[in-house]
Amino acid sequence: MSNKIGKDILHAAQILRDGELVGIPTETVYGLAGNALNEISILKIFSAKNRPQFNPLIVHISSIYEMELYAKDIPIAAQKLAREFWPGPLTLILDKKDIISDLITAGSKKLALRVPNHPMALTLLGMLPFPLAAPSANPSGYISPTSAEHVAEQLLGKLKYILDGGNCETGIESTVVGFDDQGNPIVYRKGKITSEQISSVTGLDVLEAKSDKSSQGPGIHGNHYAPKTPFLLGDLEKLIKEHSMQKIGVLSLQKKLDLPETAIHLVLSKEGNLEEAAKNLFSFMRKLDSEKLEIILAEKVPNKGIGIAINDRLERAALKKTV
Ligand code: TXA
Ligand code: MG
């Protein structure tokens, strides 16, 4: 294994202090981290990911107590959500303080903040005198990485080090929540923390950001999460029949299926457990994408709990249709 991948948190901290980039584990997906208070590091993140500069970055902090260093006029609902879910898979969009560069927020007065729930990330953040800007550690438009190996496959040359924290527990990016002028929550990106939970913690109705999937708004990029192989979502039995002459990959929750011999079938969770399915989702998409298949076929999972976010990612993967 490359000496660029390891568990040396001190080494990772030193690289970050030097203004360079490190791949870091979080409970959701791996991040491509740099010093959030250093504009040169921020520019390096955009360039390593090939990310358009109009797409803002999440700033990761080590605890809820740092919130007010970077954000102001924090709505009551945001405070409640932070208290309930941090550290955890929730990103809050808040008014930024001047210390946060416009480069991070893509010119917006709003900042995305999150406390990740991974022991290595928390230790690292606790050691550093600055927060970490970190988008998911994948080239812009590709599937988010859920292991250190995924990060290495695509970004090793652009990073000084990858901190290996094992497979991500949640496996799907954080729920992104902003607030309207009245302080009501708006979900911009679905994740493990559901609208139902947000509503129950805040006592408020939750709005959903327009799901115009072709738009360039936050979290709703058409090309997000897409494998390179054409990806179709629908009724699996029907799709398999229609594509029986092709070399197909099949991604399903648990179903037993009649498949052509050449097909590759990955089951997200034998027991039909949605948490396990979420944890496997991106790594299975990557596996199928590496198999030189003509097409990947998939079916939605039950639309409850984290299944809502799984279905959202499946839909996004299916958007980039080249068939
Ligand atoms: O789980 C996660 O959130 C992971 C881990 C590494 O923390 N990070 C992640 O970052 O998914 P990224 O950059 O791939 O996605 C962040 C999303 C983007 O869709 C971005 O548009 C949105 O959050 N976002 C960031 N800052 C924003 C802001 N100021 N206003 C609105 N949306 C914002
Ligand atoms: Mg991303």
Pocket of ligand 1 (CB under 6 A): 26, 28-29, 31, 55-58, 91, 93, 105, 108, 110-112, 114, 116, 134-136, 173-174, 176, 188-189, 218-219
Kind and range of the H or E run holding 144: none
pTM of the model: 0.95
Give residue-wise pLDDT tens across range 189-225. Answer: 999 999 999 999 999 999 988 754 444 444 444 455 7
pLDDT at 137 over 80: yes
Ligand 1, residue 219: give the atom nearest the CA. Answer: 19
- Ligand closest to 139 (CA) is 2
Q: Which two tokens stand for residue 221?
A: 């990029």
Question: For 22, phi and psi rounded to 5 degrees?
Answer: -135, 140
- Across the range 101-124, mean pLDDT stands at 98
Q: Which two tokens stand for residue 45?
A: 């993140």
Give residue-wise pLDDT tens across range 46-63. Answer: 999 999 999 999 999 999
SS3 72: strand
- Among 46, 58, 154, say which to mutate for ligand 1: greatest number of ligand atoms within 8 Å of CB: 58
**Dist CA 287 CA 262 (whole Å):** 16
Q: Which amino acid makes up residue 206?
A: V
For ligand 1, the distance from its centroid to the CA atom of residue 263, given in whole angstroms, is 35
Ligand 1, residue 96: give the atom nearest the CA. Answer: 29
Give residue-wise pLDDT tens across range 254-286. Answer: 888 999 999 999 999 999 999 999 999 999 999
Q: Which amino acid makes up residue 32?
A: L
For ligand 1, the distance from its centroid to the CA atom of residue 211, given in whole angstroms, is 16
Distance of CA 66 to the CA centre of its chain: 22
For ligand 1, the distance from its centroid to the CA atom of residue 291, given in whole angstroms, is 29
**What is the band of 105 on the pLDDT scale with cuts at 50, 70, 90?**
very high
Alpha carbon separation from 121 to 183, 275, 287 (Å, rounded): 30, 22, 26
Taking CA atoms only, the protein residue closest to ligand 1 atom 17 is 219
- Across the range 109-114, mean pLDDT stands at 98
**What is the band of 3 on the pLDDT scale with cuts at 50, 70, 90?**
confident
- Ligand closest to 138 (CA) is 2
Taking CA atoms only, the protein residue closest to ligand 1 atom 31 is 218
For ligand 2, the distance from its centroid to the CA atom of residue 49, given in whole angstroms, is 9
- Among 144, 173, 175, say which to mutate for ligand 1: greatest number of ligand atoms within 8 Å of CB: 173
Contact present, 45 and 32 (Cβ < 8 Å): yes
Ligand 1, residue 110: give the atom nearest the CA. Answer: 29
